[in-house]
Structures are given as structure tokens and as C-alpha cells.
Structure 1
């Protein structure tokens, strides 16, 4: 496996684990606040505050679930060791000056001095790239871009 690609996976996995830990702490704090509020509040103000905290809790639980799914997908794609002949899930692609990993949509990670964007195969750019080979061109947002590298 390409060294940059391996580092991108490791960095992305680490970031997702850190985010999961932060969200779990936030989840715990909200649950504690809900339980504490039950002991000391009554009336409409209590109900509104509790509903807001419950909505926050549901949002965080959804983010935790999505993070776990993204982490599982990164682990699965990281096990693919062969060099792809064309762009597929798990491929590291250099388009012009930018690097992209076709995996999960979690944004950019920085590996040493290189910024790599992680995108889903179902994203607009991901859909354009799937099946293309090194030295093929793609037209994205009015620009024709050469696939310079593929790992």
C-alpha cells in the first residue's frame, strides 16, 4: 500500500475515534443534566428545557452512530491492499494539485504537509471518478482535471 494512503487512513481513523470520544462525553453530560433537571425543576420551563436536551441527545446519538459506521467503513477499505486499475472505493487519487480518498465523506485530513479530502463514492465528484484510470480526465464544475496519480 502506498505510504501516503496508509497515513491518510490512520489519520482519518484517529480523527473519527477522537470525535467519538468527545461526542460520548457530551452525551454523558446531557444525560446527567436531564437527570439533574428532573430532581429540581417543575412546570413549563422544565418541560421546554428537557425537550431541548432530549433533542440534543438524539442529535449526538445520531452523530455517534454515523461516526461508528464511517469508522467501520474505513477499516473495511483499509484492508484492500492491491493497487486499483481504476478508481474505486478505497482509491487514493491525485487530481491536479489535490488529493482525494474515495471512502467516506468526513472532509479533509492533513498528513504531514499534504491535505487529502475524503469523499464518498456517491458524492458528485466520487461518482465522476469511479471507473476512471490514471491519465483520464474528468470535467467537474466546468474544469477539466487530469487524474495524475492512482493508488
Structure 2
């Protein structure tokens, strides 16, 4: 199936927006971890007894939470890296741009609404409810989501 340069450009822009969002999240989590490390170091210098131990425990919990967020970002990044924007398929797969009667989707990672010029796309995960319904579908197939029929018009 021949893919136009415009289609490749759309896919590339959507991919870049997903990557940039992921990188922003990564920067935020890394800054949080650094800040927590500094807080933990400052708490270590304190000699306030029980209050000191409570403070350290709270910082440690926050650090674990940030570590889990970091692991999730790394997992999501691995999924995004599997996408070949120059590859297209007749069926909806990871990396497909899907135009439907309801909305336009980029099957990649859950980022939400992305705007390209006047068009709106929703970057969704293959594990999302609508992502799972769309996977494997072809042009003109119809899925039912929340009681509404949605027809696939185009797949890039």
C-alpha cells in the first residue's frame, strides 16, 4: 500500500508530539527524584528523633512513587520506540493513524488530545478500551463503543 508524503508527515508529527510529551514527563520525574534525594540528605542531617524518622519515611514513600512513575515512563517509551512511522498496514496496529466517523486516533501511547493544524487526534494506547476495539480492524469496519457505532474511514 502506497503512503503519501503528507500521511508520513502526519504520522511523524504525531509521533514527535508523543515523544515530546513523554520526555517532558521524564524530565519532571527526574527533577522530583533529585529534589527528594536532596530532601532525604537534609533529613539525614537533622537530629529531631521521631519527627526525623517520620520525615525520612515520607520522603522515602515519595521517592518510591517517583521510581514507579519513572519505570512506567520507561515502559511507555519502549512501546513508542516500536513504532515505525514509515510502515503502514491495511489493518489497525500499533503506530496506525485511524480516521473514524467519531474521531481521529493515533494508536501509540496514552497522551490524549493532539492538534495538528486544524485536525484533532487522540493518542491512545493499544490497551485502552477503544484501542482494543480498533486493533485488527480495517477500513469500513464498524465498532461499537459506549453504545455508539463508529466506522473506520481511513488507516495510515
TM-score (norm 1): 0.89
Aligned length: 150
| 5+ residue gaps, structure 1 | none
Q: Does 1:91 align with 2:96?
A: yes
Give ranges in structure 2 of 5+ residues lacking alignment: none
Contact 1:95/1:145 (<8 A) preserved? yes
| CA apart distance, 1:107 | 2.7
- 1:113 to 1:37, Cα distance in 2 relative to 1, 3 A: farther
Question: What is the CA–CA distance in structure 2 between the aligned matches of 1:110 and 1:59, rounded to whole Å?
Answer: 31
Cα deviation digits, residues 90-125 of structure 1 (max 9, x gap):
111122242111122233333334332222222211
Q: Aligned equivalents of 1:96 and 1:56: distance in 2?
A: 43
CA contact (8 A) 1:134 1:149 kept: yes
After the TM superposition, which segments of 4 or more aligned residues of structure 1 sit over 6 Å from their partners?
none
Q: Identify if the C-alpha distance between structure 1 residues 52 and 16 changes in structure 2 by more than 3 Å, giving closer, same or farther.
A: same
Could you tell me which residue of structure 2 aligns to residue 12 of structure 1? 18
Across the aligned residues of Structure 1 and Structure 2, the Cα RMSD in angstroms comes to: 1.7
